[in-house]
Amino acid sequence: MNARRPVLESDFHLEIDRIACDAYGTCAELLPEMIDLDEWGYPIIAAGHVPVHLLDHARRAIDSCPVLALRLAAVDRAKIFPTTGTGWSARPEPRTDRLEGTPPWPPRPASRTAKRGPLPRKGG
Amino acid sequence: MFDQVLWFTTRGSGAVSLLMLTASVCFGLVTVARFGNDQWPRFLNLEMHRRVSLISIVFLVVHVLAAVFDPFTKLGLAAAIVPLASTYRPLPVALGVISMYLFVALIVTGLLRSRMPQPLWRTIHWTSYAMWPLAVLHSVLSGSDTGSAWMLVVDGVCFALVAVCLVWRISVADANRNRLEDVVLTSSWQKPSKRRDGR
Amino acid sequence: MTARLLDGPPPGSGAETLREHRARLGDLPARADRVDLIQTLEASGLLGRGGAGFPVGRKWGSVAGRSGGHAVVLANGAEGEPMSLKDRVLMSTRPHLVIDGVELAAEAVGARRAVLYVGSEHREARAALDRAMRERASDRSRTMPRVSTSIVTPPVSYVAGEESAAVHFVNDGDPRPVTVPPRPFEKGVDGRPTLVQNVESLAHAALIARFGDAWYREAGRGETRGTSLVTISGTRSPGVLEIELGTTIGELAEWSGATGSYGGPVLLGGYFGTWVAGEDAWRMPLDPAELKRNGAAFGAGVVAFLGDDTCGVRATARIMDYMAGSSAAQCGPCVYGLRAIADATARVATGRPRGDDLVRVSGWSQTLSGRGACRMPDGTIGLLRSAMKVFADDFASHQHHRRCVATRAAVGSAS
**Tens of pLDDT along chain A (124 residues)?**
455 667 888 999 999 999 999 999 999 999 999 999 999 999 999 998 999 999 999 999 999 999 999 999 988 655 544 443 333 433 344 433 333 443 433 344 444 443 434 443 333 3
Q: How far apart are CA B69 and CA B7, in angstroms?
A: 9
User: Per the CB < 8 Å rule, is C373 touching A19?
Assistant: yes
What pLDDT does residue B30 have? Answer: 97
Q: Does C335 touch chain B (CB under 8 A)?
A: yes
Which CATH number applies to C312-410: 3.50.7.10, 3.40.30.10, 1.10.260.40, 1.20.1440.230? 1.20.1440.230
A interface with B, Cβ–Cβ below 8 Å: 22-26, 29-30, 64, 66, 68
Q: How far apart are CA B103 and CA B18, in angstroms?
A: 12
| pLDDT tens string B77-101 | 888 888 887 777 888 889 999 999 9
| pLDDT tens string B35-72 | 999 999 999 999 999 999 999 999 999 999 998 888 77
Contact B18, B128 (CB under 8 A): no
For residue A15, list chain C residues with Cβ-Cβ distance below 8 A.
Answer: none
User: Per the CB < 8 Å rule, is C325 touching B184?
Assistant: yes
Q: What pairing do the DSSP bridges indicate for beta strands C194-198 and C148-152? A: unpaired
Size (chain A), residues: 124
Partners of C248 in the beta sheet?
C285
High-pLDDT (> 90) share of chain C, %: 79
Q: How far apart are CA C172 and CA A50, in angstroms?
A: 36
| pLDDT tens string B181-198 | 999 999 988 755 444 554
Mean pLDDT on C151-156: 94
Q: How far apart are CA B97 and CA C208, in angstroms?
A: 70
Q: How far apart are CA C161 and CA C76, in angstroms?
A: 7
**Torsion-angle region of C295 (φ positive above 0: left; ψ -120 to 50: alpha; else: beta):** left
Measured CA distances, C80 to A13, C83, C85, C325 (Å)? 34, 9, 10, 13
User: Per the CB < 8 Å rule, is C325 touching B183?
Assistant: no
CA dihedral B164, B170, B174, B179 (to 10 degrees): -90
**Counting beta carbons within 10 angstroms of the beta carbon of residue C343, is it exposed (0 to 12), middle (13 to 18) or buried (19 or more)?**
buried
B 58-87: CB under 8 A from A: none
Q: Does C402 touch chain B (CB under 8 A)?
A: no
Q: How far apart are CA C255 and CA C249, in angstroms?
A: 10
Average pLDDT over chain C, rounded to an integer: 92
Looking at residue C245, its amino acid is L
Domain C227-305 has CATH 3.10.20.600: yes
> What are the residue ranges of helices labelled H in chain B?
2-32, 43-68, 76-81, 90-111, 118-126, 128-142, 149-172, 175-185
Comparing CB atoms, the residue among A22, A23, A26 nearest residue B43 is: A26
Q: How far apart are CA C243 and CA C213, in angstroms?
A: 18
Of A53, A64, A26, which is closest to residue A42 (Cα–Cα)? A26
pLDDT value at C170 more than 80: yes
Contact A19, C168 (CB under 8 A): no
Q: How close B175 gets to chain C, by Cα (Å)?
A: 13
Q: How close C84 gets to chain A, by Cα (Å)?
A: 28
User: Per the CB < 8 Å rule, is B184 touching C329?
Assistant: yes
What pLDDT does residue B142 have? Answer: 82
| pLDDT tens string B120-160 | 999 999 999 999 999 999 998 887 654 578 888 888 999 99
**Which residue ranges make up each domain of chain C?**
18-218, 227-305, 312-410
Contact B63, B13 (CB under 8 A): yes
User: Per the CB < 8 Å rule, is C346 touching B189?
Assistant: yes
Of C107, C110, C112, C135, which is closest to residue C29 (Cα–Cα)? C107
Task: Mention every residue, 6+ apart, whose C-beta is less than 8 A from residue C80.
Answer: C119, C156, C157, C158, C159, C160, C161, C326
Q: How far apart are CA C121 and CA C291, in angstroms?
A: 32
Looking at residue C366, its amino acid is Q
Q: How far apart are CA C175 and CA C312, in angstroms?
A: 31
Contact C91, C125 (CB under 8 A): yes
| pLDDT tens string C184-205 | 999 999 999 999 999 999 999 9
Size (chain C), residues: 415
Q: How far apart are CA C298 and CA C275, in angstroms?
A: 11
Nearest CA in chain C to B188: C343
Handedness of CA A80, A85, A88, A91 (dihedral sign): positive
Domain B2-185 has CATH 1.20.120: yes
Comparing CB atoms, the residue among B184, B190, B194 nearest residue C335 is: B184
Q: Which domains does chain A possess? A: 9-74 (3.30.70.20)
Output the DSSP codes for C163-174: HHHHHHHHHHS-
Output the DSSP codes for C344-387: HHHHHHTT---TTHHHHHHHHHHHHTT-SSSSHHHHHHHHHHHH
What pLDDT does residue A106 have? Answer: 39
> A–B: how many Cβ contacts below 8 A?
23
pLDDT value at B75 more than 80: no
User: Per the CB < 8 Å rule, is C342 touching B188?
Assistant: yes
Question: Neighbouring chains of A at 3+ CB pairs within 8 Å?
Answer: B, C
Comparing CB atoms, the residue among C179, C332, C373 nearest residue A42 is: C332
Q: Does C357 touch chain B (CB under 8 A)?
A: no
Strand order in the sheet with A9-16: A49-51, A9-16, A70-74
User: Per the CB < 8 Å rule, is A22 touching B32?
Assistant: no
Of C87, C120, C71, C124, which is closest to residue C203 (Cα–Cα)? C87
Measured CA distances, A33 to A18, B119, C238 (Å)? 20, 32, 53
What pLDDT does residue C139 have? Answer: 81
Of C245, C370, C236, C351, which is closest to residue C305 (Cα–Cα)? C236
pLDDT value at C214 more than 60: yes
Q: How close C116 gets to chain A, by Cα (Å)?
A: 27
Q: Which CATH class is domain C18-218?
A: alpha beta
User: Per the CB < 8 Å rule, is A21 touching C332?
Assistant: yes
Partners of C274 in the beta sheet?
C268
| pLDDT tens string C312-348 | 999 999 999 999 999 999 999 999 999 999 999 999 9
Distance from chain centroid for Cα C222: 21
Give the orientation angle of helix C95-109 with respect to helix C199-218, to 10 degrees.
90
Looking at residue B71, its amino acid is P
User: Per the CB < 8 Å rule, is B43 touching A29?
Assistant: yes
Whole-prediction pTM? 0.86
Nearest CA in chain C to B187: C321
| pLDDT tens string C96-137 | 999 999 999 999 999 999 999 999 999 999 999 999 999 998
C36 three-class SS: coil
Nearest CA in chain A to B42: A26
| pLDDT tens string C398-412 | 998 888 998 888 887
Q: Does C380 touch chain B (CB under 8 A)?
A: no
For residue A29, list chain B residues with Cβ-Cβ distance below 8 A.
Answer: 41-43
